[in-house]
């Protein structure tokens, strides 16, 4: 593979570009979360309806990923990514200007196009390098990606307090324009063997869907991510209602988890090639289990504070950062010629469960129950991921 030169699309895409396309997709999910209560008041709607801005978005991205991957396998990574960013920019402008909840949620659904950044960053890496190197490179990409949305909730909370909830979406639109300019200049086409037609693609899909190895890797990704999406759905309620934090202070608490995730990505990039996918999966999910277990112990013992809960989530984020790059690299390596489709299908499964959990997690909590039911859901996800890892290990042996 020739060396990358930034902003030269005649060479392989630079890692900065891959970080940006994945990061803008992650930022779109989280930047507005601390402002949800304010947005519910602005649109004069229930918090549960306003929560659709997250859960509906996740459901939409789950469905869209089923098409993003195959489209990029057929037509190429570059045109699909450029089109997705253009749609994101237009939809975000509509969000800023919305005065009715239905219009806002419709525009929010259009924003799901940016999920192409998450799908295609993995597929592009697999286009360029073999599987063990892909796990390492995906780790570095997601580490860098974590830097982009790391301050998203914190910045969104501060923007909301200072200028109103619309400010976080205005910032997202400006950043999306900047990312589009980089993609146009740097992202050349990496899919050198596009499929001749969707019919040809459908003909080989059964081989992917029949692969036990693909499903094992996909389920690991689904359940490891499930604890994080439960956290995203429940943390605003925990912070604002149970812990009585301001939007700005709640946004700052997300830095704990994001920092842990970024550190885990760095460790994955550093050690995945040396330790192999299986060890990284076991170590990562074990760390996540420890963090969730600590949060549950604090909650049951009556020592539930912002520091004890969000501090414990450092380990959950760290474990996810270690495990997910290896799960994603394994998924897209089952059929390298269908890397886009495999990435899209795995992502659809992950975000489909994430959408459900982001609704369930806050709905089972109240001031009377406290955070225990919510943390229990996160624990079940981590345990299910460990079972899936054991199944993968059994099949490989």
Tens-digit pLDDT profile for residues 153-206: 778 888 888 898 999 999 999 999 999 999 999 988 887 776 656 666 666 667
Which letter does DSSP use for residue 301 in this model? T
Q: What length does the chain have? A: 397
pLDDT surpasses 60 at 149: no
Q: How far apart are CA 353 and CA 372, in angstroms?
A: 20
Are 65 and 347 in contact, with CB atoms under 8 Å apart?
A: yes
- pLDDT for 387 equals 93
Nearest of 39, 56, 26, 251 to residue 165 by alpha carbon: 39
pLDDT surpasses 70 at 309: yes
Other CB atoms within 10 Å distance of the CB of residue 285: 28
Q: Distances in Å between the alpha carbon of 271 and those of 37, 101, 290? A: 41, 46, 21
Q: What would the DSSP string read from start to end of 226-250?
A: HHHHHHHHHHHHIIIIIS---HHHH
Mean pLDDT of 146-159: 74
Segment among 11-25, 51-65, 298-312 with least mean pLDDT: 51-65
- pLDDT for 202 equals 63
pLDDT surpasses 90 at 144: no
Q: How far apart are CA 75 and CA 88, in angstroms?
A: 20
Top mean-pLDDT range of 198-212, 253-267, 338-352: 253-267
- pLDDT for 318 equals 93
Residue holding tokens 């390492």? 136
Nearest of 230, 168, 223, 193 to residue 30 by alpha carbon: 168
Q: How far apart are CA 47 and CA 105, in angstroms?
A: 13
pLDDT surpasses 70 at 134: no
- Long-range Cβ contacts of 301-305 (<8 Å, 24+ apart): 304/242, 304/370, 304/371, 305/243
- pLDDT for 383 equals 94
Q: How far apart are CA 225 and CA 356, in angstroms?
A: 12
- What is the separation, in whole angstroms, between the first and last Cα of the chain? 32
Identify the burial level of 286 via C-beta atoms within 10 angstroms of its C-beta, where 0-12 means exposed, 13-18 middle and 19 or more buried: middle
- pLDDT for 196 equals 59
Other CB atoms within 10 Å distance of the CB of residue 365: 22
- pLDDT for 148 equals 64
- pLDDT for 200 equals 63
- pLDDT for 60 equals 83
pLDDT surpasses 60 at 61: yes
- pLDDT for 171 equals 93
pLDDT surpasses 80 at 336: no
Identify the burial level of 69 via C-beta atoms within 10 angstroms of its C-beta, where 0-12 means exposed, 13-18 middle and 19 or more buried: buried
pLDDT tens digits for range 63-95: 887 788 778 877 888 999 999 999 999 999 999
Identify the burial level of 199 via C-beta atoms within 10 angstroms of its C-beta, where 0-12 means exposed, 13-18 middle and 19 or more buried: exposed
With pLDDT > 70 as the criterion, what percentage of the chain qualifies?
A: 89
Q: Is 170 helix (H, G, I), strand (E, B) or coil?
A: helix
Residue holding tokens 């885990």? 264
- pLDDT for 276 equals 84
Are 2 and 179 in contact, with CB atoms under 8 Å apart?
A: no
Are 375 and 299 in contact, with CB atoms under 8 Å apart?
A: yes
| Sequence-ordered list of residues with C-beta below 8 angstroms from that of 63, at least 6 positions apart, any chain | 348, 352
- pLDDT for 333 equals 77
CATH superfamily, domain 15-187+211-396, is MFS general substrate transporter like domains (1.20.1250.20)
Mean pLDDT of 230-254: 81
Mean pLDDT of 96-108: 94
Q: How far apart are CA 316 and CA 227, in angstroms?
A: 8
């Amino acid at each position: 593979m020739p060396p990358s030169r930034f902003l030269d699309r005649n060479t392989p895409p630079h890692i900065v570009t891959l970080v940006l396309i994945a990061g803008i997709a992650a930022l779109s999910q989280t930047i507005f979360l601390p402002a949800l209560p304010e947005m519910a008041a602005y649109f004069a709607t229930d918090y549960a309806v306003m929560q659709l801005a997250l859960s509906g978005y996740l459901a939409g991205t789950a469905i869209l990923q089923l098409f993003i991957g195959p489209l990029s396998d057929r037509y190429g990574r570059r045109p699909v990514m450029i089109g997705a960013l253009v749609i994101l920019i237009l939809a975000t402008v509509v969000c800023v200007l919305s005065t009715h909840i239905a219009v806002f949620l419709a525009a929010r659904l259009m924003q799901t196009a940016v999920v192409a950044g998450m799908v295609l960053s993995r597929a592009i890496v697999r286009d360029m390098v073999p599987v063990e190197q892909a796990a390492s490179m995906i780790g570095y990409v997601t580490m860098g990606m974590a830097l982009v949305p790391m301050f998203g909730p914190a910045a969104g909370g501060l923007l909301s307090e200072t200028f109103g909830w619309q400010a976080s979406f205005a910032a997202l639109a400006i950043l999306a324009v900047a990312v589009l300019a980089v993609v146009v200049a740097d992202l050349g086409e990496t899919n050198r063997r596009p499929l001749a037609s969707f019919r040809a693609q459908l003909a080989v899909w059964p081989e992917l869907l029949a692969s036990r190895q693909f499903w094992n890797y996909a389920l690991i990704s689904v359940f490891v991510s499930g604890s994080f999406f439960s956290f995203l759905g429940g943390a605003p309620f925990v912070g604002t209602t149970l812990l009585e934090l301001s939007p700005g202070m709640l946004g700052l608490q997300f830095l704990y988890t994001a920092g842990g995730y970024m550190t885990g990505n760095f460790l994955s990039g550093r050690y995945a090639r040396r330790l192999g996918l299986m060890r990284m999966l076991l170590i990562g999910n074990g760390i996540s289990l420890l963090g969730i277990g600590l949060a549950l112990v604090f909650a049951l013992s009556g020592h539930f504070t912002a520091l004890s809960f969000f501090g414990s989530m450092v380990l959950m984020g760290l474990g996810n950062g270690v495990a997910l790059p290896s799960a994603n690299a394994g998924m897209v390596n089952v059929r390298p010629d269908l890397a886009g489709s495999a990435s899209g299908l795995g992502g659809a499964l992950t975000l489909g469960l994430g959408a459900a959990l982001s609704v369930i997690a806050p709905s089972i909590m109240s001031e009377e129950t406290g955070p225990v039911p919510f943390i229990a859901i996160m624990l079940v996800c981590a345990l299910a991921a460990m079972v899936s890892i054991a199944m993968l290990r059994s099949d490989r042996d």
